[in-house]
Amino acid sequence: MSECIQLSFAVCRIGIYTCFRALCCKGPPPPRPEYDLVCIGLSGSGKTSLLSQLCSESAENIVSTTGFSIKAVPFQNAILNVKELGGADNIRKYWSRYYQGSQGVIFVLDSASSEDDLETARNELHSALQHPQLCTLPFLILANHQDKPAARSVQEVCSCASFLPVCIYFLHTTDPLSLITLTSWLRTGLSFFFTVSTQTRNSPSPQKLSPLHSMQT
């Protein structure tokens, strides 16, 4: 009888120890995969402001990027390392030097820009799509400044890029629905890179996306 009791106590001790190890000695979670993206667009299109919002940084005293900067944008299942390149006239000619190693491209477009700037942005986007280091990567256009009076309509922006194999999201940077909503929109737009980059990594023949997407208030 005593042997049965001792055996029962032993089994209980083993069970308690196993539960303790599972609860208190759990190893660190597996590292999240990281993806390297390049963010381009003309100066003043809002690249720095948008990335600062994504990283929950203060929007005050933001200065346009003159060279390049790198921000880590965390997601639940991945981390996006976004390399932002300055968009001034004297910097754009050096963009291609920073393309190597990119797994996706974000192009920020000022939808309220002048016709000349819009044409310049369109040419820069077309050039990036044809670049050997980017031509097989997923592209995302963020049509920014939709809240401005001079902003072009969804139809106008889409017609401007209708022949391009890209995804487009429209952003209202001063929408009254709050910063949380804006950040949610931005994360929705960028989250497609997680899916596409995963598919590209597992595919021997990566392809660009073709559908256009619109996000509005």
Query: What pLDDT shows up at residue 127?
Result: 92
Which of these, 92, 102, 169, lies nearest to 135 by C-alpha position? 102
Phi then psi for residue 59, to 5 deg, are -85, 0
Q: Please name the amino acid found at residue 46.
A: G
Which of these, 160, 71, 166, lies nearest to 121 by C-alpha position? 160
Nearby residues of 72 by Cβ (< 8 Å), 6 or more positions away = 55, 79, 80, 81, 82
According to DSSP, residue 151 is labeled P
Residue 23 has pLDDT above 70, yes or no: no
CA gap 61, 171 in Å, rounded = 21
Residue 201 has pLDDT above 60, yes or no: no
Query: What pLDDT shows up at residue 177?
Result: 46
Residue 25 has pLDDT above 80, yes or no: no
Residue 203 has pLDDT above 60, yes or no: no
What pLDDT digit, counting tens, does each position of 7-17 carry?
454 445 555 55
Query: What pLDDT shows up at residue 206?
Result: 36
pLDDT band at 217 (very low <50, low <70, confident <90, very high): very low
pTM confidence score? 0.72
Residue 67 has pLDDT above 70, yes or no: yes
Q: Which residues are annotated as a binding site?
A: 41-48, 65, 87, 144-147
Q: 124 with 42: CB under 8 angstroms? A: yes
Three-state SS at 77: coil
Number of helical (H) and strand (E) elements in the chain, helices listed first:
6, 6
**Segment of 61-65, 132-136, 168-172 carrying the highest mean pLDDT:** 132-136
Q: What percent of the chain has pLDDT over 90?
A: 18
Nearby residues of 58 by Cβ (< 8 Å), 6 or more positions away = 52
Q: How far apart are the first and last CA of the chain?
A: 74
Domains and CATH numbers, the chain: 34-201 (3.40.50.300)
Phi then psi for residue 136, to 5 deg, are -105, 5
Q: Which residues are annotated as a binding site for GTP?
A: 41-48, 87, 144-147
What pLDDT digit, counting tens, does each position of 92-106 carry?
999 999 999 998 888
pLDDT band at 38 (very low <50, low <70, confident <90, very high): very high
Average pLDDT of span 122-148: 86
Listed in sequence order, the DSSP H helices in 1-153 are 2-24, 47-54, 89-92, 115-130
Q: Using the Cα atoms of residue 81, residue 87, residue 88 and residue 94 in order, give the sign of their dihedral.
A: positive
Q: Which residues are annotated as a binding site for Mg(2+)?
A: 48, 65
Average pLDDT of span 149-160: 77
Average pLDDT of span 40-50: 88
Q: 209 with 168: CB under 8 angstroms? A: no
Query: What pLDDT shows up at residue 41?
Result: 93
What pLDDT digit, counting tens, does each position of 172-193 carry?
555 544 455 655 665 665 666 6
Mean pLDDT for the chain overall? 72
